[in-house]
Amino acid sequence: MTENTDIRTAFDQVMAEDHDLPAKQKQVLAASLTLFAEQGFANTTTKQIADRAGVAEGTVYRRYKTKDELLAALLKPMVTQVLPRLMHEFAQQVKTMQHLTRRQLLTALIENRVAFLEDNWQVGKILINEMMIRDDLRQSVMLNAGPIIQKTLFPILDQLREQHELAAIPNDMVGQFVIGTVLTNLLRANLQGDFAAFSQRAPYLIDFLDRGLAPK
Amino acid sequence: MTENTDIRTAFDQVMAEDHDLPAKQKQVLAASLTLFAEQGFANTTTKQIADRAGVAEGTVYRRYKTKDELLAALLKPMVTQVLPRLMHEFAQQVKTMQHLTRRQLLTALIENRVAFLEDNWQVGKILINEMMIRDDLRQSVMLNAGPIIQKTLFPILDQLREQHELAAIPNDMVGQFVIGTVLTNLLRANLQGDFAAFSQRAPYLIDFLDRGLAPK
Amino acid sequence: MTENTDIRTAFDQVMAEDHDLPAKQKQVLAASLTLFAEQGFANTTTKQIADRAGVAEGTVYRRYKTKDELLAALLKPMVTQVLPRLMHEFAQQVKTMQHLTRRQLLTALIENRVAFLEDNWQVGKILINEMMIRDDLRQSVMLNAGPIIQKTLFPILDQLREQHELAAIPNDMVGQFVIGTVLTNLLRANLQGDFAAFSQRAPYLIDFLDRGLAPK
Amino acid sequence: MTENTDIRTAFDQVMAEDHDLPAKQKQVLAASLTLFAEQGFANTTTKQIADRAGVAEGTVYRRYKTKDELLAALLKPMVTQVLPRLMHEFAQQVKTMQHLTRRQLLTALIENRVAFLEDNWQVGKILINEMMIRDDLRQSVMLNAGPIIQKTLFPILDQLREQHELAAIPNDMVGQFVIGTVLTNLLRANLQGDFAAFSQRAPYLIDFLDRGLAPK
DNA sequence: GATGAATGAGACTTCATTCAT
DNA sequence: AATGAATGAAGTCTCATTCAT
């Protein structure tokens, strides 16, 4: 799985995109990320961001012209680059495995990505919250994530089903169940404020999904 | 299902709480509910609420002294009254059934509550969003929902497990899986803007949970 | 000239347009007018307007949503209503005079309008300044004033020329000379800070224009 | 017209003032001139100046310590040097002519100076606008231009009047009429965005002034 | 009770100016 | 000399809340 070593978090992605981003701008992005995740975008003031980042308020606006641009700078790479690449790399990884069982697939999907999910939970939280509210963001995510899931994940599911490893459930429902189970686990860990719990529960998730998606 | 006839939506619950809630105040609550769900609490102005409710801005403040009180008026009954009663009524319903199978339980849980969930999705959406942000609300929900789930749902699960109808999974994980599967379905319907899809997918949910929670 | 008694200044015009404009809003408009004329639009802060008007800063924004709208509220009536009506009334007045001489026309134009010009000098000053800078305003003035001058003033000039009372100069040049001579007088009075001088110099203006526009 | 060959525009004048003005500083001044004329001083940012000049924002401050100094650098030479010299050279030119007629004087004044006026219209525009707003600038212009006009132009006018070539109008009114007529023509050309029109209309201006200033 | 004008604290944003590199 | 990131004072604007009518 060397091909995964270069998986970076969404946050690093923003940094990488502009690799001569000054230190203070990085602090601004980091502070924004934390505060948006903690308090929500709308409840975070640019003054708070400046204070947390240890810069003047004007500095917050140096690169990103508005508060909305700051949000976009954090979310866009996640939606347009990180998630797609993650899916793609996952599909590549799966292809290298011969006679993949359902459980192997789920284990690869969940355990191998736990670190990534924990790293990016802050961005994910912001993303989910803002998707509830912003039509444009919802559209953008749908347009980006939808096709990629179909192209990368669905063929794998079809193959599994042919090998009698997967129940006769529509692919989109399989996706819904897997994503939902993982997401709920993340959500619960967040509500409990206990992120260790997230990975501790991973075996239960694999077990539950393994049985739920088994053919009759 | 006569025991369900008096299940009211959270919104009606607020109304019922105060029999002489003036018509204009009801309009204010209704407008708040819709707008908070559409745009989020922080992005909704009291002016918007007043306009949508067809009243003056001052009228919004007649009964509820602050915007936060307005939010509380919508969320509190849901958390402290509606959900507990729903759980209680569900437990009662289950107790009347002899030799309950896992599938019967899930069907009762999902199909019988579909209407309720659809009705109250707006409040639920607001609730989830605000729980992400407000510690106090998160605490309050935990303190209210937690014990009730343990008292009403867990005994039923224990009983099922004794009847070899349920996998050897901790009760909290069972709860997480069931709630998560339903919630994800709701979330997806909301993101798609297609609420009919929600109930159409119910049979798949039951099937998935039925297998996922089955003992080995 | 009873038909002129109802000529109102541009400022009164704004007031009249919305005759239930609250007192404080009138104060805001009055303060804006004075300050914009004194210091220019761009150099005037909303804080200054609020202070001069004796209201809170928020009040400045109650009716006019932006500082630009405030400017438009002051200028638009001048451009679209006051000036056109002034031209029209002037034309009407001229038509009632038989065998009008050039000097009579100029006297009517200048002396009768002196009060009006003095009253509206503040708006005029703002208008000239902003026209130098804003393309849209320039367009708007051109589109409004141009046709009206052609329809009302040019026929009178043609008639005068037939009566051998006016030089063989294109009508637009006649307009340029008359308006320019009056405007320059106003400008000079403003630069000197001496408005009494404006009307004292009126006889010289009439004399100068009378000769300058006489046929050979 | 050899005496005119050394008439330089105000802008060149600033440049000449400091022989070793670095190229970048010249670009800054040129950019400032254009932008101030286009958008007004208050609406022009130092960032815009830097961009237009093709330099960094810090460079704008190398020679001129503040934005106001930049404005002064453009306006002061015009007021204190260019206009006085222009008047002086004009007076010299007039003195060389024997038995000067009114029309000759006007022709010399207008036609010979057309190029200069067109070249310096940008500075003039800025000057007029800022004079409307800044008391100190108004004072400065009055103190500089006033005496010079009296010393150079008034003797010529007195001489003309003795030769029965000029109406019995106070000298300051003659000045007002001439300057106003020329200025209005410039203003109109600017509002129309058609500078060719300016010189095309020159013959009309000469004719109009010639008659308007003729003795009875 | 209802209204909506008024308030003012505080949010977002701009921009002239400084200064380390 | 030049750069451009950083600054922070000050500007524009928003909006929950109050209160006279």
Residue range B109-141, pLDDT digits in tens = 887 777 777 778 889 899 999 999 999 999 888
**Comparing B145-154, D91-100, D101-110, D157-166, which segment has the lowest mean pLDDT?**
D91-100
State the CATH number of the domain containing residue D130.
1.10.357
**Model confidence at D8, in pLDDT bands (50, 70, 90)?**
low
Distance between the alpha carbon (CA) of B22 and the C1' atom of E1, Å: 10
Q: How far is D34 from chain C (nearest CA, A)?
A: 12
Q: Count other Cβ atoms within 10 Å, centred on residue C63.
A: 16
Whether the CB of C43 is less than 7 Å away from nucleic strand F comes out as no
**Comparing A189-193, A202-206, B157-161, which segment has the lowest mean pLDDT?**
A189-193
Q: Please answer yes or no on whether D180 and C183 come within 8 Å at the CB atom.
A: yes
The pLDDT tens digits of the residues spanning B61-105 come to 999 999 999 999 999 988 888 888 888 888 888 788 767 789 988
Mean pLDDT of all residues in chain A? 88
Distance between the alpha carbon (CA) of B58 and the C1' atom of F19, Å: 10
Q: What is the pLDDT of residue A118?
A: 75
Please give the average per-residue pLDDT across A118-145, as a whole number: 89
Q: How far is A36 from chain B (nearest CA, A)?
A: 9
Closest residue on chain B to A214 (Cα): B211
3-state class of C62 per DSSP?
helix
Closest residue on chain B to A125 (Cα): B132
**Which residue of A134, A141, A211 is the best one to mutate when testing the B interface, meaning the one whose CB has the most B CBs within 10 A?**
A211
Q: What is the pLDDT of residue D77?
A: 86
Find out whether A60 and A47 touch, Cβ atoms under 8 Å. Answer: no
Whether the CB of C58 is less than 7 Å away from nucleic strand F comes out as yes
DSSP letter (8 states) at residue B65: S
Q: What is the pLDDT of residue A8?
A: 63
pLDDT of residue A5 exceeding 60, the answer is no
Find out whether C116 and C87 touch, Cβ atoms under 8 Å. Answer: no
pLDDT of residue B8 exceeding 70, the answer is no
Residues 6+ apart with CB under 8 A from D66: none
Distance between the alpha carbon (CA) of C51 and the C1' atom of F11, Å: 15
Residue nearest to nucleotide E14 (CA to C1'): A58
**Comparing A166-180, C51-65, D153-167, which segment has the lowest mean pLDDT?**
D153-167
Residue B62 located in a structural domain: no
Q: What is the pLDDT of residue A98?
A: 67
Report the C-alpha gap between D40 and C42 in whole angstroms: 9
Tell me which nucleotides of strand E come within 7 A of a protein CB: 1-20
Under an 8 Å CB criterion, which residues of C touch D? 38-40, 42-43, 125, 129, 131-133, 138, 142, 167, 169-170, 173, 176-177, 179-181, 183-185, 187-188, 190-191, 201, 204, 207-209, 211-214
Residue D128 located in a structural domain: yes
Among C25-39, C135-149, C182-196, D137-151, top mean pLDDT goes to C25-39
Distance, CA of D23 to chain centre: 25
**Which residue of B34, B36, B176, B216 is the best one to mutate when testing the A interface, meaning the one whose CB has the most A CBs within 10 A?**
B176
Domain enclosing residue C97, as ranges:
2-212
pLDDT of residue C112 exceeding 80, the answer is no
Q: Which nucleotide is nearest to A68 (CA to C1')?
A: E12
Please give the average per-residue pLDDT across C70-88, as a whole number: 88
Q: What is the pLDDT of residue B40?
A: 96
Report the C-alpha gap between B132 and A190 in whole angstroms: 8
Closest residue on chain D to C36 (Cα): D133
pLDDT of residue C1 exceeding 50, the answer is no
Residues 6+ apart with CB under 8 A from A17: A77
**Model confidence at D170, in pLDDT bands (50, 70, 90)?**
very high
Greater model confidence, C179 or D6: C179
**Model confidence at A6, in pLDDT bands (50, 70, 90)?**
low
Report the C-alpha gap between D49 and C29 in whole angstroms: 34
Q: Which nucleotide is nearest to C46 (CA to C1')?
A: F12
Residues 6+ apart with CB under 8 A from B55: B24, B27, B28
**Model confidence at D19, in pLDDT bands (50, 70, 90)?**
low
Whether the CB of B210 is less than 7 Å away from nucleic strand F comes out as no
pLDDT of residue C10 exceeding 80, the answer is no
Tell me which nucleotides of strand F come within 7 A of a protein CB: 1-20
Rg, chain D, Cα only: 19
Residue nearest to nucleotide F7 (CA to C1'): A56
The pLDDT tens digits of the residues spanning A13-38 come to 767 776 778 899 999 999 999 999 99
DSSP letter (8 states) at residue A194: -
Report the C-alpha gap between C13 and C1 in whole angstroms: 20
Please give the average per-residue pLDDT across B171-179, as a whole number: 94
B32 is written with which tokens?
Answer: 């708040």
Residue B47 located in a structural domain: no
Mean pLDDT of all residues in chain D? 87
Find out whether D186 and D121 touch, Cβ atoms under 8 Å. Answer: yes
Residue B89 located in a structural domain: yes
**Which residue of D179, D187, D200, D216 is the best one to mutate when testing the C interface, meaning the one whose CB has the most C CBs within 10 A?**
D187
Whether the CB of B57 is less than 7 Å away from nucleic strand E comes out as yes
Burial B158-169 (b: 16+ CB within 10 A, else e): eebbeeebbbeb
Whether the CB of B67 is less than 7 Å away from nucleic strand F comes out as yes
Report the C-alpha gap between D175 and D64 in whole angstroms: 35
Chains in touch with A (≥3 Cβ pairs < 8 A): B
Please give the average per-residue pLDDT across C141-151, as a whole number: 88
pLDDT of residue B3 exceeding 50, the answer is no
pLDDT of residue B14 exceeding 80, the answer is no
Report the C-alpha gap between D216 and D213 in whole angstroms: 9
**Model confidence at B4, in pLDDT bands (50, 70, 90)?**
very low
Q: What is the pLDDT of residue D21?
A: 77
Q: What is the pLDDT of residue C3?
A: 42
Closest residue on chain A to B184 (Cα): A180
Helix axis angle, B171-192 relative to B202-212, nearest 10°? 160
3-state class of A142 per DSSP?
helix
Report the C-alpha gap between B29 and B20 in whole angstroms: 14
Report the C-alpha gap between D69 and D73 in whole angstroms: 6
Q: What is the pLDDT of residue C80?
A: 87
Q: What is the pLDDT of residue D83?
A: 82
Find out whether A76 and A17 touch, Cβ atoms under 8 Å. Answer: no
Taking the alpha carbons at both ends of chain D, their separation in whole angstroms is 33
Q: Please answer yes or no on whether A207 and B183 come within 8 Å at the CB atom.
A: no
Are C and D touching by the rule of 3+ CB pairs within 8 Å? yes
Whether the CB of A52 is less than 7 Å away from nucleic strand F comes out as no
Helix axis angle, C171-192 relative to C202-212, nearest 10°? 160
How many domains, chain C? 1
Q: How far is A211 from chain B (nearest CA, A)?
A: 5
Q: What is the pLDDT of residue B212?
A: 97
Q: How far is A42 from chain B (nearest CA, A)?
A: 6
Residues of A in contact with B181 (CB under 8 A): 177, 180-181, 184
Q: Count other Cβ atoms within 10 Å, centred on residue A45.
A: 13
**Model confidence at B1, in pLDDT bands (50, 70, 90)?**
very low
**Model confidence at A99, in pLDDT bands (50, 70, 90)?**
confident
Residues 6+ apart with CB under 8 A from D53: D24, D27, D28, D30, D31, D32, D59, D60
**Comparing A67-81, A199-213, C69-83, D86-100, which segment has the lowest mean pLDDT?**
D86-100
CA torsion through residues A140, A143, A146, A152, sign: negative
Interchain CB contacts (distance < 8 Å): C and D:
99
C190 is written with which tokens?
Answer: 């403003």
Please give the average per-residue pLDDT across D59-70, as a whole number: 95
Q: What is the pLDDT of residue A10?
A: 65
| Class of residue A168 by CB neighbours under 10 A (exposed 0-12, middle 13-18, buried 19+) | exposed
Residues of C in contact with D79 (CB under 8 A): none
Residues 6+ apart with CB under 8 A from C97: C104, C108
Closest among B149, D139, D174, D120 to C205, alpha carbons compared: D174
In order, the DSSP letters of B79-131 are IIIIHHHHHHHHHHHHHTSSS--HHHHHHHHHHTTHHHHHHTHHHHHHHHHHH
Please give the average per-residue pLDDT across D166-170, as a whole number: 95
**Model confidence at D79, in pLDDT bands (50, 70, 90)?**
confident
Q: How far is B77 from chain A (nearest CA, A)?
A: 20
Residue B151 located in a structural domain: yes
Q: What is the pLDDT of residue A164?
A: 92
Report the C-alpha gap between D142 and D148 in whole angstroms: 10
Q: Which nucleotide is nearest to B43 (CA to C1')?
A: F15
Q: Which residue has the tokens 């650098």?
A: D73
Burial C42-57 (b: 16+ CB within 10 A, else e): bebebebbbebbebee
State the CATH number of the domain containing residue A175.
1.10.357.10
**Comparing A122-136, B33-47, C41-55, which segment has the lowest mean pLDDT?**
A122-136
Closest among D90, D89, D78, D88 to D141, alpha carbons compared: D78
pLDDT of residue A155 exceeding 80, the answer is yes
Q: Which nucleotide is nearest to A48 (CA to C1')?
A: E11
3-state secondary structure chain D: CHHHCCCCCHHHHHHHHCCCCCHHHHHHHHHHHHHHHHHCCCCCCHHHHHHHHCCCHHHHCCCCCCHHHHHHHHHHHHHHHHHHHHHHHHHHHHHHCCCCCHHHHHHHHHHCCHHHHHHHHHHHHHHHHHHHHCHHHHHHHHHHHHHHHHHHHHHHHHHHHHCCCCCCCCHHHHHHHHHHHHHHHHHHHHHHCCCHHHHHCHHHHHHHHHHHCCCC
Closest residue on chain B to A179 (Cα): B184
Q: Count other Cβ atoms within 10 Å, centred on residue D140.
A: 17
pLDDT of residue C101 exceeding 60, the answer is yes
